[in-house]
Amino acid sequence: MNDGIALMSYGLARAVRDMMGLQDVPAAFQGRFGSAKGVWLRDANDTSDAIWIETTPSQRKWNCDYIEDDHRTFEVRNESRELKSANLNLQLLPILEDRAINAAQMKIQVGNFMRDSLMRDLDAQKAAMQSPTQFRLWVYENSPSSRRAERTKHCQVPFTAGLPSSREDIMAFLLDSGFDPAKLKFLSDIAWKLRKEKCQELQERLNVRVGRSTYAYMVVDFLGILEEDEVHLGFSSKFTDEQSGFSETFLHGFDLLVARTPAHYPSDIQRVKAVFKPELGSLKDVIIFSTKGDIPLAEKLSGGDYDGDIAWVCWEPTIVNNFHNADMPDAPDLFKQGIIRKEALKYNELATTDDITSEFLLRAFKFNLEQNLLGVCTNYKEKLCYARNSVQDGPAILLSTLISNLVDRAKQGIVFTDQDWARLRRNLSKADPPDPQYKKNSWSAQGRPTHIIDYVKFGVGQPIVERELKTFHESLNQAENFDKDLVRYYQYYEKLQRPFTERREAIKKQTWERILEKLRKDIDAVAQDWPKSRGEWDARLAGIYDKWQEIEPTDKVKSDTVKSLLLQEDQARIGLSSWDLLKASFAFKMYYSKFPKFVWYIAGKQLAYLKATYTSQESSAPPVLMTPSMYAGSKPDNKYARVLAAKNDGRNLIEGEAINEEAATTLSDEEV
């Protein structure tokens, strides 16, 4: 009943918190201590400063004497954290439909959640497009975590040619420089592509967010006060679902669903009762299972245990009240049927060979070089269940049992080869079933979608995505390629060519005429290579950019003073000399319409500088410069963005209200 979990003292948990720099003392840690690994739960009865930790037989992997310092070091892999609303995993949908009291109603309800999830995500970007500050916040919240890793690696935002390397960083860079996505076409085009990909991702991944659900570490009730099929779940801060109005710090007095993924058997989702026990009240952000009964609740959930498994917990009434449990199936004995075998030979049984170690290593390599068919079998089972429209018939149960064994193949020494798999498939079906419709991009079958995943994707998701994409695209029609601020720098130098009266001034005029005429020809020569270049994008861009960097003032300019004014050495090193800015402004004037991408990808850094300079003049304040490392670590202020958006909407939103809006709408770092 406590497989993989043990207790630790409050004093130790507090010491670990201090060492890790956490704000609160977590209820549980997943980690390793000596020969033991699993989860350690803080003792709910211990409030002392004593330092102690237990290990259980199920946690210990070998006999450890704890003499070495490393064996007396508690290694933390993860800790329990504040819980957030969760998405409904795709694998759970067929089981929810199978176990529904009213299957049609379950399908409709899941579809409603899919619709709400899509509309919330799509409306967020639509609203963000109305304000550069809001859009900057949206870009940050929807940037992949890999962007953060790249910044950490380089201690700056990586650039390729004239713009940041990543699309998200390009948008953030231009927004920070004063451009508006609703006005600048180059920026709105990137936003459109991002939105289109985001829509496709939402539709393909089927992220059905259920506000009254979460993911939490599974732990056990060491006090023994929970009855069988009772669970305890408390939150470290008020768990709020704005849409349903739910706002509580613990669950009590109603049923909820618990599951683990991957889920295969119909019994892998269980309906249990949530109760609050004051004795367990200090253990927050973990779901506590009872130790009473014949079978651990974790084992009912895909054969789970308590060494770090995470449960999906759902207390949404429209789902829970329409669900009834399935008994655990009578799993077939795959060993007796000859479907799988076990490599049970032990090291000391190789004593008859001349070189025991070599023989042992040979067998180990041979076993581990065999293909792991877990993914293949899982995909086949998904297709077969779809074709047969059942998750609980004989073939479905047999394949679920096979998959459960293959999960621990390496640990248990399970032998299952390609030949075994081919033989089993022939026994299950005359021909391999086709891919489900929901694996395709569009609905191609006869009639309307009936399978729950087909219905959610094609009956609900796709029409919403297509409608919203069309509306969003139409809203971008006002954006333009031209920006008057970006040609002002060139216009200043252009004025120097106007008629002069005195001889000295005429000489200056001829000088600037030669400079600008030569610059026009050089820019044109590089620009003409843009549509002709071929190959991989970064290499293509680098080639054009090298030619761009070679453009310098004409040799016919005799005045060293003019050259030094244009090519300031300190500014030229960072690409912001007068010559760099003149080139960029002139190139924009020449090609903003014909080759807009050329202008931006080659001279984006200078154009952003010019925009920030002229935009700041309107505010009677200088543009704020940042070092590369500081810029790489910057992020938008949520409260400021929402207060400013409210101000633009005519609302006088005070800071406290902004904080409430932020809590209701922002994502955690993990979700981002």
pLDDT digits (tens, 9 = 90+) for 531-559: 998 889 999 999 999 999 999 886 655 55
Is the pLDDT at 202 greater than 90? The verdict is no
pLDDT band at 499 (very low <50, low <70, confident <90, very high): low
- Please choose, from the candidates 458, 461, 457, 449, the residue with its C-alpha nearest in 3D space to the C-alpha of residue 104: 449
Residue type, 59: Q
Beta carbons within 8 Å of 243's beta carbon, 6+ residues apart: 116, 211
pLDDT at 149: 77
Is the pLDDT at 421 greater than 80? The verdict is yes
Give the Å distances, CA to CA, from 567 to 497, 554, 573, 581, 602. 20, 12, 10, 10, 19
HEC per residue, 450-508: CCHHHHHHHHHHHHHHHHHHHHHHHHHHHCECCCHHHCHHHHHHHHHHCCCCCHHHHHH
Strands (E), 25-162: 28-33, 36-42, 74-79, 86-88, 159-160
pLDDT at 470: 86
User: String of b and e for 296-328 (b: at least 16 CB within 10 Å)?
Assistant: bbbebbbbbbbbbbbbbbbbbebbbebbeebee
Cβ atoms of residues 462 and 442 within 8 Å:
yes
Residue with tokens 């030979």: 345
Q: How far apart are CA 315 and CA 254, in angstroms?
A: 8
User: String of b and e for 229-254 (b: at least 16 CB within 10 Å)?
Assistant: bbbbbbbbeebbbeeeebeeebbeee
- Please choose, from the candidates 175, 56, 256, 34, the residue with its C-alpha nearest in 3D space to the C-alpha of residue 608: 175
Tokens of 508: 């200056």
Is the pLDDT at 334 greater than 60? The verdict is yes
Q: Which of 84-88, 347-351, 635-639, 648-652 has the highest mean pLDDT?
A: 84-88
Mean pLDDT across the stretch 143-168? 86
pLDDT at 41: 97
Is the pLDDT at 611 greater than 70? The verdict is yes
pLDDT at 126: 79
pLDDT at 522: 95
Is the pLDDT at 505 greater than 70? The verdict is no
pLDDT at 303: 87
- Answer with the residue of higher pLDDT: 297 or 509: 297
pLDDT at 664: 39
* CATH architecture of the domain with residue range 86-93+210-320: Beta Barrel (2.40)
Domain boundaries, the chain: 5-79, 86-93+210-320, 341-428, 484-630
The distance from CA 164 to its chain's CA centroid, rounded to whole angstroms, is 21
Is the pLDDT at 15 greater than 90? The verdict is yes
Is the pLDDT at 410 greater than 90? The verdict is no
Q: How far apart are CA 512 and CA 518, in angstroms?
A: 10
Q: How far apart are CA 667 and CA 85, in angstroms?
A: 10
- Answer with the residue of higher pLDDT: 470 or 101: 101
* CB half-sphere exposure, 650, CA atoms < 13 A: 0
Tokens of 601: 């990808």
Using a pLDDT cut of 90, give the percent of the chain over it.
62
pTM for this prediction: 0.78
Mean pLDDT across the stretch 177-190? 93
Tokens of 423: 């033989």
- Answer with the residue of higher pLDDT: 530 or 637: 530
Q: How far apart are CA 75 and CA 33, in angstroms?
A: 6
pLDDT tens for residues 633-668?
888 888 887 777 777 666 665 544 444 444 433 333
pLDDT at 556: 59
Tokens of 627: 């070092």
Mean pLDDT across the stretch 56-63? 93
The distance from CA 226 to its chain's CA centroid, rounded to whole angstroms, is 36
pLDDT at 655: 47
pLDDT band at 225 (very low <50, low <70, confident <90, very high): very high
- Answer with the residue of higher pLDDT: 658 or 586: 586
Is the pLDDT at 203 greater than 80? The verdict is no
Is the pLDDT at 370 greater than 70? The verdict is yes
Q: How far apart are CA 336 and CA 622, in angstroms?
A: 79
pLDDT at 660: 44
pLDDT at 633: 87
Is the pLDDT at 129 greater than 90? The verdict is no
- 237 sits in which H/E element: strand 230-241
pLDDT at 571: 83
Mean pLDDT across the stretch 392-396? 94
Residue with tokens 């190959």: 535
Mean pLDDT across the stretch 130-148? 83
What mean pLDDT value characterizes the chain?
88
pLDDT at 651: 64
3-state SS assignment for residue 537: helix
